[in-house]
Amino acid sequence: MNSSLFLSQLLNGLQLGVLLFLLSSGLTLIFGIMNFINLAHGSLYMVGAFVGAASYNASGSFLFSLFAAVAAAAIVGLVIEHLVARPLYRHDHLYQVLATFGLMMFFNELAIFIWGNRPYFVTIPEVISGSVEILGAPYPVYRLLIIVVGVLVAFGAWYLIQKTRFGMLVRAGTTHASMVSVLGANVDLLKKSLFMLGAGLAGLAGTLAGPILSVQSGMGDPVLILALVVIVVGGIGSIRGALLAAILIAVIDTLGRAYLPGILALVMAPAAANTVGSALASMLIYLLMAFVLAFKPQGLMVSAKR
């Protein structure tokens, strides 16, 4: 096994895990703390990717595109919370699923209407387009930047929810809303703030993914499935669980796709090994989820609320 290739694939898995965490952390907060299932969360990821790509191509400023994408996703999240989520907080999850699934379809069509049906490309900024050597293996600076941003966001989100007055009020407001209101806190404003935070994190993930993926309508749908797997494995409502599960799932998926076909080629024909290996690699994360549900159904880490 080539050690440089293994290190590169391991870092690729870590980078994918960070993007999954940025998406799933907002989803797990909204679901775990507010008890609201938002299937349109992947659409917020798509909004961030499109707005980030369009603003960078227009302005040439990567930092501006980051702020624009996060702000746009947060504003869209606020609108969703006010018009869709708020009336459904007290209803069964089935109503939430149906409403947000309809939103997902709406945003996909809206993206086609605004940006067209073809992939929308954005280049990596020149200042971070190079590569550095890590243990003798070259690795892109931009992907390392994604990893660093994800780690910083993970710590910041955990600290905000677990160690600040805002986080305390949000967690208390979801279970004892009347008591928190009596103490003078605006529960509706807390919910809107948390929803905007989750939407902004999804937008950040989308704009960071834009330069390494093709930005197109529906790009949030497959990532949403992975994010749902992440929050189930990590534990609903747990930031630390989301980070651990996202990295674990991404590394397993990346290494599986890279090495399973080669391993199977030792015992079967190369063509069959490629087909079977790719299929098995796609199944690994769902097998992991099934294993966790069987032996630890609350997830690897249970949130403080639970």
DSSP string, 257-295: HHHHHHHHTTTS-HHHHHHHHHHHHHHHHHHHHHHHHHH
- Cβ–Cβ < 8 Å for 43, 206: no
pLDDT at 64: 93
252 phi, psi to nearest 5 deg: -60, -45
Q: How confident is the model at residue 207 (pLDDT cuts 50, 70, 90)?
A: very high
- Read off the pLDDT of residues 37-64 as tens digits, 9 standing for 90 and up: 899 999 999 999 999 999 998 888 889 9
Q: Would 81 be classed as within a structural domain?
A: yes
Q: Would 289 be classed as within a structural domain?
A: no
Residue among 18, 22, 21, 24 nearest 228 (CA): 24
Domain count, the chain: 1
Q: Would 53 be classed as within a structural domain?
A: yes
Query: Which residues form the domain of 177?
Result: 3-217
Q: How far apart are CA 11 and CA 147, in angstroms?
A: 9
Q: Would 202 be classed as within a structural domain?
A: yes
pTM score of the predicted model: 0.87
Q: Would 272 be classed as within a structural domain?
A: no
Q: Would 142 be classed as within a structural domain?
A: yes
CB atoms within 10 A of CB 280: 16
- Read off the pLDDT of residues 248-301 as tens digits, 9 standing for 90 and up: 999 998 888 888 888 888 888 888 888 888 888 888 889 989 999 998 888 888
pLDDT at 93 over 90: no
Q: Would 60 be classed as within a structural domain?
A: yes
Q: Would 304 be classed as within a structural domain?
A: no
pLDDT, mean over the chain: 86
Q: How far apart are CA 129 and CA 122, in angstroms?
A: 12
Q: How far apart are CA 189 and CA 266, in angstroms?
A: 59
Residue 271 CA: distances (Å) to CA of 259, 276, 277 = 14, 9, 10
Tokens of 138: 């070259």
What sections of the chain are H helices per DSSP? Answer: 3-34, 41-59, 62-80, 86-88, 93-115, 141-163, 165-175, 177-182, 187-209, 220-234, 239-264, 270-295
